[in-house]
Amino acid sequence: MLWESAAGERASRPDGDLTARIENFRSEYGEQTLGIGTTSPRLSWMIQADDPEWEFDRYEITLSREDGTAESVIVASGEQVLVPWPFAPLRSRERVSLRVRVGSDDRWTLPSSSLEVETGLLEPTDWSADFVSPISLGGLDGGAPIVYRELDVAEKPVRARLYVTALGLYEFAINGRRVGHDVLTPGWTAYQHRLRYQTYDVTELVTQGTLTLSAVLGNGWYRGQLVWPGNRSSYGDRLALLAQLELTFADGTRRVVDTDAGWRACTSGILFDDLYDGQTTDLRIENDSERRQSEPVEVLAPYGGTLVARTGPPVRVTETLPAARIITTPGGSLVVDFGQNLVGWVRLRVRGATAGERVTIRHAEVLEHGELGTRPLRSAKATCEYILSGAPEEVLQPTFTFNGFRYAEVVGVPDLRVEDVEALVIGSALERTGWFESSDPDLNRLHENVVWSMRGNFLDLPTDCPQRDERLGWTGDIQVFAPTASFLFDTSGFLAGWLRDLAAEQKPDGGVPYVIPDVLRDPDPGAAGWSDAATLVPESLYRAHADRGMLSAQYSSMRAWVDKMVTLAGDDNLWNTGFQFGDWLDPTAPPEDAAAAQADKYVVATAYYIRSVRAVRDAAKVLGFAGDVVRYDDIAIRAEEAFNREYVTDDGRVRSDCQTVYALVLCWDLLDSEPKRSGAARRLTELVIEADYRVNTGFVGTPLILDALTIAGRIDLACAMLLQRECPSWLYAVSMGATTIWERWDSMLPDGTINPGSMTSFNHYAYGAVADWMHRVLGGLSMAEPGYRRVTIRPSFVSEGTPVTAARVRHRSPYGDIECNWQIVDDVVRLSVSVPYGVTADIWLPGDTKPSTVRSGAHRFEAPLAN
Ligand code: BGC
């Protein structure tokens, strides 16, 4: 079919090229092109084409090598997301340039702009460097050591690459200039199995003459406190650096500079560093290398795990926020308010101090009675201390710690000025892909709070909270939040990497630890909702990104977990034994017993069992494992029968009769008859009305409750619950001034005191899982086929009773931006939808019994609200 432009002219160029444009040509998981960890990166691109009917049926990828050779491959396919690498596998350090064009009927688009891809060190034998560690400096109670060496470079290289990692954290510099912008490198993985290395282009930094290579080493996750106070050295007690600087000169010769026995170690100005407790920095030493002691290093035994390139984005400073105001507390302290609860560092500029003066900064998420509320931090000291050098102007900023805070108390700067303080927001530099706004400002704030909680807790791994003595990769939290997360940001590489750690940490019998990386080290882990991260996070990721490769990589881990549950469920097909977190932090749970819940924990466990077995069955379908499809379908059917027999009455009453159990059975379609389904829907409705639309669910029920009401045909009740302001509710926290999602419904009590429970974080994304419903149902944009190949546009106005009069939701899918924007004016719905090339959208308007289907372009609809 010839492509015709909107004006009806044939839209071809004189050279015969189609005028559709290719954009966002990318490899694997996005922006990273240097140091990729695969020989065969998959490729994706977006297409801008005005004609919705035009379809390409082939693509051509051209690869150009540095030696001037090139090759092209034409593939007869209309795919554009994660297409397989069509060339011979790349070798380590290989750099190629790629272009793509697509075509049909012998017409081609213009080629895309070029994508440079360079592999990292892919084989263990590529590493000639050894890990080097200081001998006596930088011991467990010492400060952060520096390892360094000098070298003479006779000629400036044409290319210089640094491959680097550490046991502990590192900050690398060449001639005192910091390499790259990443922070808290190499991040946290299951170190005993997988350790990430980074690749940097340091061509600019490597000059002719004498060069100093140096790296400061911090304790970080490797050797600092983790889990409980004083629990240190989870992975080892020696910090070490592994670095390989590879220089290529104009004549093609190469020189490799490795960490080896020739390096030395010395002290740094960082006297103390810990993720929970903070950092103490002596700027006198920091600024004066003469003050440092020095010694040789020792070469350590080779690392036993695998060195891996990153798949997700690095941790960086993603934003700088000015201080909002400075408060003098009732007790006379100076406290800076940043106006936003965030994760990162305080940066403070000090002038005219005397050498040896001290400045102390303590952090907190909230104020209580006007003073810094540090009780929720539990044992974490969250304190940064600086000993000033007396330079005319000094900038105070830590390196090897991070804090969750909105408020910072500053001691030692009596003339503190608001313009001298900033907050540096740090986190994984994920690409934002999801936006929501509505006619209700409180809902917009709630949504912002979800985004901020995600930003704070997606710090190299998905954590529960970023401030107290925890900050762990709790599996249950990300399991419930993954669909929301994958809408808001591009999580594809970030979570795919974390899932590799999950698989690596899984027990031989399939048991899945409650935190990944597993520092709890429970010998026999397995709990519903938490361990189900093994099955349900890959499922969410596959839905969002259509990443079959990730699904295939996780499949044996998914299956192993489900097979373990089969054993746990035993002959009666009910998982009704053993430890469970259950509907964690149900609002009726007393402060000191977060697991006490209204929902029967074994109803929850068997429901999750069925849910995960089905997830494996569905993954088997995608991957073409026909035998497994039959096997897991059969297991699911038997478990459903057992569930109905044991826990459900004929009229749909579910054991423990509370919001969460009805949410489970309705959302996961667990009931085996229509009378049961309508009975359960009725009962849920009654419970929600009796509760005056207050939320009565914990971690398990919260992501589902509004969907359950939607399935029950009561979007009006779902909206009433979403808009409820009395505790427990989402907007209660907003009405109390929250700027992130709280861990418990009443982290802050109505009288302004902090909940006395030990689980009282103000930055936990789990309850923020409601944003998924806001995107899909209230906003009306939901994915109907993996990767958003097909979407459903069906905003809540389709049902009666929503008090929200306008909403706009946008998602940057693998194909491009999809937007749904609606408003109700004088009982008329106005809907505009924009659909990128490659996506089909089914649109529902009030009164529709079937959708109208549209393809790429901007579409507008108007319809009377009443039906
Ligand atoms: C964490 C939770 C986690 C829970 C499980 C808590 O301490 O903060 O979010 O899922 O433990 O027990």
**pLDDT tens for residues 799-845?**
555 678 999 999 999 999 999 999 998 889 999 999 999 999 999 99
Say yes or no to pLDDT of 105 above 90.
Answer: no
H or E stretch at 690:
helix 674-690
When the pLDDT of each residue in the chain is averaged and rounded to a whole number, the result is: 94
Say yes or no to pLDDT of 68 above 50.
Answer: yes
Alpha-carbon gap, residue 815 to 22, rounded angstroms: 11
Q: Per DSSP, what are the bridge partners of residue 337? A: 325, 407
Q: Note the pLDDT tens digit of each residue in 427-483.
A: 999 999 999 999 999 999 999 999 999 999 999 999 999 999 999 999 999 999 999
| Amino acid in the structure at residue 341 | N
Written as six digits, the tokens of 333 are 């302290």
Say yes or no to pLDDT of 409 above 60.
Answer: yes
Residue 766 alpha carbon, nearest atom of ligand 1: 9
Smallest CA separation from ligand 1 atom 1, residue: 464
Say yes or no to pLDDT of 289 above 80.
Answer: no
Alpha-carbon gap, residue 81 to 30, rounded angstroms: 11
Q: What are phi and psi of 859, to 5 degrees?
A: -130, 140
Distance 442 CA to ligand 1 centre (A): 27
Rounded mean pLDDT, 516-534: 97
Residue 514 alpha carbon, nearest atom of ligand 1: 5
Rounded mean pLDDT, 586-611: 93
Instruction: Please tell me the least confidently modeled range out of 14-28, 180-194, 276-290, 600-614.
Output: 14-28
Q: What pLDDT, on the 0 to 100 scale, is given for residue 7? A: 30
Alpha-carbon gap, residue 37 to 31, rounded angstroms: 14
Alpha-carbon gap, residue 177 to 813, rounded angstroms: 38
Q: What pLDDT, on the 0 to 100 scale, is given for residue 5? A: 29
Say yes or no to pLDDT of 12 above 70.
Answer: no
Written as six digits, the tokens of 861 are 């609809």
Q: What are phi and psi of 686, to 5 degrees?
A: -60, -45
Q: What are phi and psi of 576, to 5 degrees?
A: -130, 35
Q: What pLDDT, on the 0 to 100 scale, is given for residue 2? A: 25
Q: Note the pLDDT tens digit of each residue in 222-255.
A: 999 999 888 999 999 999 999 999 999 999 999 9
8 Å CB contact between 319 and 334: no
Q: Map tokens 């003595």 to a residue.
A: 469
The verdict on the CB of residue 451 being under 6 Å from ligand 1 is no
Can you point out the beta strands (E) in 733-789? Answer: 781-785
Q: What pLDDT, on the 0 to 100 scale, is given for residue 803? A: 78
Q: What pLDDT, on the 0 to 100 scale, is given for residue 262? A: 96
H or E stretch at 99:
strand 95-104
Smallest CA separation from ligand 1 atom 7, residue: 759
The HSE-up count of residue 845 (CA atoms within 13 Å, CB side) is 20
Q: What pLDDT, on the 0 to 100 scale, is given for residue 18? A: 67
Smallest CA separation from ligand 1 atom 12, residue: 581
The verdict on the CB of residue 581 being under 6 Å from ligand 1 is yes
Q: pTM for the complete prediction?
A: 0.96
pLDDT-derived band at 798, boundaries 50, 70, 90: low
Say yes or no to pLDDT of 221 above 80.
Answer: yes
Say yes or no to pLDDT of 867 above 70.
Answer: no
Smallest CA separation from ligand 1 atom 3, residue: 474
Q: Per DSSP, what are the bridge partners of residue 809? A: 436, 820
Residue 761 alpha carbon, nearest atom of ligand 1: 8
The HSE-up count of residue 816 (CA atoms within 13 Å, CB side) is 21
Written as six digits, the tokens of 765 are 């994304």
Contacts with 747 (C-beta within 8 Å, 6 or more apart), sequence order: 376, 733, 754, 755, 760, 761, 762
Q: What pLDDT, on the 0 to 100 scale, is given for residue 163? A: 98
* Residue among 477, 522, 760 whose CB has most ligand 1 atoms within 8 A, to mutate: 477
Residue 464 alpha carbon, nearest atom of ligand 1: 9
Peptide bond before residue 313 is cis, with ω within 30 degrees of 0:
no
| Amino acid in the structure at residue 465 | C
Q: Map tokens 């304190």 to a residue.
A: 383
Distance 581 CA to ligand 1 centre (A): 9
Radius of gyration of the chain (CA): 28
pLDDT-derived band at 8, boundaries 50, 70, 90: very low
Smallest CA separation from ligand 1 atom 8, residue: 464
Give me the active site residues, please: 470, 743
By DSSP bridging, strand 17-18 and strand 107-109 are parallel
Angle formed by the axes of helices 626-647 and 601-623, to 10°? 160
